[in-house]
Structure 1
Amino acid sequence: MNLTISGHHLEVTPALREYVLTKLDRVTRHFDQVVDVTVLLTVEKLKEKERRQKAEVTLRVKGRDIFVEQAHEDLYAAIDQLMDKLDRQVVRHKDKVQDHHHATAKRLETNAG
């Protein structure tokens, strides 16, 4: 699995990198066929009071790219919400892949019997 963590208007500290890695671990535990992961952490400076922290991730799995983004005032909260969204999408993708293969196997058994 290739992993790229980069920052836009932000320096990716070792603590941030470690936090993202621990959160990604949960996603890869659900689905181990991940080819490539690109994480982009951004600070958008709109006005003094309206600073937004944005986290984006592109997860490449066999046959599909999953893109998720989340914005929040706190970068760690944005990462948490982002990983929750990503986890749901990965589980949904995994279910689709498994259901598809399961249905094919059932059809073959029915035709053979």
Structure 2
Amino acid sequence: MGIVVSGQNVDITPALKQYAEKKLKKLQKFFDDREVEIEVILKVQRELHVADITIQVGGLLVRGEGKTDDMYASINVAVDRIERQIRKYKTRINRRMRKLDAQAAGVAVPAQAESDEADEPRLVKTKRFDVKPMSVEEAIMQMELLGHDFFVFRNDSTGGVNVVYRRNDGDYGLIEPESR
């Protein structure tokens, strides 16, 4: 498990780094023996202490953020959010596997399992549209005109499909997918 702890507008003390590493090590049980990369960014924004944790394992990316008036509490909040996300993901996978196993064996799926699935988010709409070449600035303007929080477009300078999105802090982000 590789853990990188860095800071923005805050000095990372050895005690703070050890605390973050100790909290993150408890998540190891979810990943078996797979290679896990964890990036922890601790920062101070205005009067809030922010812990931004990103975990990469295989093709899965999990992110959690904690904002409080204490850095240690922010780390706790971020780790708890990540743990909740992982548990939810694993539960969903296990339910699907049990349902597939039951169907393969020709066993009727209990009504309880079907009602559990009703709690899961479902895909309710699929949109198809032309991805037009434009600059990042044009894509942001188009997103604003549509009133959306994100916008998919073909970047005219790189030729790749990109996504611009509105961040929680009010600024914009750009996603540039890479093929591996």
- State TM-score, norm by structure 1: 0.80
Where does residue 98 of structure 1 map in the other structure? Answer: 94
Higher relative strand content: 1
SS at match of 1:12: coil
How many correspondences in the alignment? 106
Cα separation, 2, equivalents of 1:8 and 1:24 = 20
Describe the SS at the equivalent of 1:16: helix
The answer as to 2:89 corresponding to 1:89 is no
The answer on whether the counterparts of 1:28 and 1:34 sit within 8 Å (CA) in structure 2 is no
Counterpart for residue 11 of structure 1: 11
1:25-36 aligned within 5 A: 25-32=25-32, 33=34, 35-36=36-37
Deviation at 1:42, TM superposition (A): 0.4
1:69 and 2:65 aligned: yes
Displacement of 1:27? 1.9
Per-residue Cα deviation, 1:21-50 (whole angstroms, up to 9, x for no partner): 111122222443563211110012x3xxxx
The residue aligned with 2:42 is 41
The verdict on how the C-alpha distance between 1:99 and 1:63 changes in structure 2, with shifts beyond 3 A counting, is: farther
- Give me the whole-angstrom Cα distance separating, in 2, the residues matched to 1:84 and 1:59: 13
Task: Tell me the amino acid that sits aligned with residue 21 of structure 1.
Answer: E
Moved more, 69-78 or 30-39: 30-39
Moved more, 31-40 or 79-88: 31-40
| Counterpart position of 1:60 | 56
Deviation beyond 4 Å, 4+ runs, structure 1: none
TM-score, reference length from structure 2: 0.53
Which one has a bigger Cα radius of gyration? Answer: 2
